[in-house]
Amino acid sequence: MLEINSVQAGYDRTTVLHGVTVTVPKDGVATVLGHNGAGKSTLLRAAMGLLKPRSGTVLLNGEDITGLAPNQRVARGMAYVPQGQQSFPHLTTAENLQLVADGRPDGKAAVAEALDLFPVLRELSGRRAGLLSGGQRQQLALARALITRPKLLLLDEPTEGIQPSVVAEIEETILALTRRGGLSVLLVEQHVGFAMRAAQHYYVLEAGRVTSSGEGGTGAEGTVRAALSV
Amino acid sequence: MTVILNQSFTGISIGAVLLLIALGLTLTFGQMGVINMAHGEFIMAGAYTTYVLQKDISGAGVSLLIALPLAFLVAGSLGALLEWLLIRRLYTRPLDTLLVTWGVSLMLQQLARDIFGAPNVQTHAPDLLTGNISVGGITLANNRLFILGLALLCVLGVTLILRLTPLGRRIRAVVQNRDLAEVSGIATGRVDRMTFFIGSGLAGVAGVALTLVGPIGPTMGTNYIVDAFLVVVVGGIAQLKGSVITAFALGVLQSVLEYSTTVSVAKVIVLVAIVAFLQWRPQGLYTLRTRSLA
């Protein structure tokens, strides 16, 4: 589905990624684990096109999309939920969703589906996104991403900084989405337990390099924890 | 009493002109943060559009009605072209934008001189707009009333577009979080160009209105551009209502001061008042943590 091939990327004079190769299988989940500053978010930004790689390529279903703008990647079936529960703070919840649905023939149905998945958003439809709680904003962000009916979803620490009562709910929703089929996920995580439960493949990223990788599943959790604690 | 009321109406009509000119800037400067020195030349383009139309169409009323949408298109297209050619390459370099658009402004002025000649030209106002209405001893000039109505209509139009249309949602989204808009599938470059088209088009409409109260010349835009930026800065670049209140407040202040002193002294006092105000509230009248117009 997605192939990130020896991507080098960074900001100004600092190089963050030193040739990272990560593959997301079709309808599968791959997770990238690592400590703060390892380059996980940078990897997703490069995959989405917000950051131009200095070298290396990004392939989507075999097509080289390295030079495409992020909105063109969305048109090809990619969606991205960035870190930090981002939203358009002065648009209402409903406007946040409608914005993405605008111009899509199936927009109305897609919004309804997203609201079924996150019913809390229905009650908040008239409220400005900036006034929502972190958990609500993250559900809004996931809903926005799903309205584009993605085939590949990039998630950047989806439960980070969210009140514990909502974390389980969001994790269950993500697991349900991945099991529904027709969706590949690249999940960046710090919570090893959740990541290994969701993923078939894991990659451990350290200082911009993949230091270990392998099959996912809860059985591999110990191996990954050991790799991370080095 | 009638003197005060008459002066206030004059002030409100000055404010309406200011508002009409500043309205486009609330989009290109307020929302996008671009200091476009050629904005005044888009006003000029709108005014010359009116002039050219009137030479070809005999009825002044008809040509004025056609001039409004046509000037919007002409000035808007010039703006979109400028954005596409130059400004989009300079979004991260505001000082370069200022210099480049100033250069474009000078080129457009020279272009107008080459086409229409250096001396000012004039259009004829339609008969309907040449008279006055008297209400309880106050004399209201028809053309001034027309400009006031036009300004309010444009404010209403911009507000409705921003609040209710898909384009408006996109414009607000791009301003609030450009990267998030882009990864939500919005072609932000296209939204920038549309924002610039509308903002510049509104300058063209202002140009049509100005033909009713003054001569048309190559440098007419420069007379207004500073005042227009002042309105947006004092109003707070975040919100439309700041510009609306500021435009009328400055208009009334100017006209009342002009009555009790002279034109130049009034201008000086208004500028000093603005400087003092900005010392007290550097962010302007209305602000938000993130910019949002509607």
Q: Choose among A70, A103, A144: nearest Cβ to B182.
A: A70
CB atoms within 10 A of CB A67: 11
- Domain annotation covers residue A170: yes
pLDDT of residue B62: 81
Range(s) of the domain holding residue A170? 2-88+148-229
Q: Which residue has the tokens 């899509």?
A: A104
Q: What is the pLDDT of residue A122?
A: 93
Positions in chain B short of pLDDT 50: 290-294
Residue A97 has pLDDT above 90, yes or no: yes
Tell me: pLDDT of A70 over 60. Answer: yes
- Is residue A119 assigned to a domain? no
- pLDDT, position B103: 95
The predicted structure's pLDDT at residue B291:
43
Partner residue opposite A86 with nearest CB, options B166, B180, B288: B180
The span from the CA of B232 to the CA of B287, in Å, is 12
Average pLDDT, rounded, for chain A: 90
Per-residue model confidence (pLDDT) at position A180: 83
Residues of A in contact with B183 (CB under 8 A): 48, 50, 70-71, 74, 79-80, 82
Mapped onto helix, strand or coil, the DSSP state of residue B228 is: helix
**Is the predicted pLDDT of residue A82 greater than 90, yes or no?**
yes
Question: Which amino acid appears at position A53 of this protein?
Answer: P
Check if the beta carbon of residue A41 is closer than 8 Å to that of residue A156.
Answer: yes
State the distance between the two ends of chain A, measured CA to CA, in whole angstroms: 31
Q: A131 at the B interface (CB within 8 A)?
A: no
| pLDDT tens-digit readout, B25-64 | 988 888 888 899 999 999 999 999 999 998 887 677 788 8
Q: Which two tokens stand for residue A6?
A: 């020896």
Answer yes or no: are the C-beta atoms of B132 and B141 closer than 8 Å. yes
Q: Is residue A113 part of a domain?
A: no
Q: What distance in Å separates the CA atoms of residue B118 and residue A145, rounded to the nearest whole number?
A: 56
Answer yes or no: do B188 and A71 touch at CB < 8 A.
yes
CATH code for the domain of A157: 3.40.50.300
| Contact between residue A88 and residue B173 where contact means Cβ atoms under 8 Å apart | yes
Q: What is the pLDDT of residue B246?
A: 92
CA distance A105 to B155: 31
Sheet holding A2-11, edge to edge: A14-24, A2-11, A55-60, A63-64
Q: Does the beta-carbon distance from A50 to B166 stay under 8 Å?
A: no
Q: How many domains does chain A have?
A: 1
Nearest-CA residue of chain A relative to B176?
A: A88
Quote the CA–CA distance of B171 and A200 in Å, as a whole number: 40
Maximum CA extent, chain B: 60
Q: Which residues of A touch B180 (CB under 8 A)?
A: 82, 86-88
Per the domain annotation, does A134 fall within a domain? Answer: no
List the domain boundaries for chain B.
Answer: 2-228
Parallel/antiparallel/unpaired status of strands A55-60 and A2-11: antiparallel
Q: Is residue A127 included in any domain, yes or no? A: no
Asked if B141 and A50 count as a contact pair (C-beta separation under 8 A), the reply is no
The pLDDT score that the predictor gives to residue B32 is 84
pLDDT digits (tens, 9 = 90+) for A133-179: 888 999 999 999 999 999 999 999 998 888 888 888 888 888 888 88
Closest CA–CA distance from residue A99 to any residue of chain B (Å): 6
Tokens 């050629």 — which residue? B38
List of chain B residues whose C-beta atoms are within 8 Å of the C-beta of residue A102: 166, 169-170
The pLDDT value given to residue B238? 67
Q: What angle do CA B274, B144, B63 make, to 5 degrees?
A: 125
**B7 to chain A, closest Cα gap in Å:** 39
Q: Residue A212 falls within a domain, yes or no?
A: yes
Q: What is the ipTM of this complex?
A: 0.91
pLDDT at B290: 47
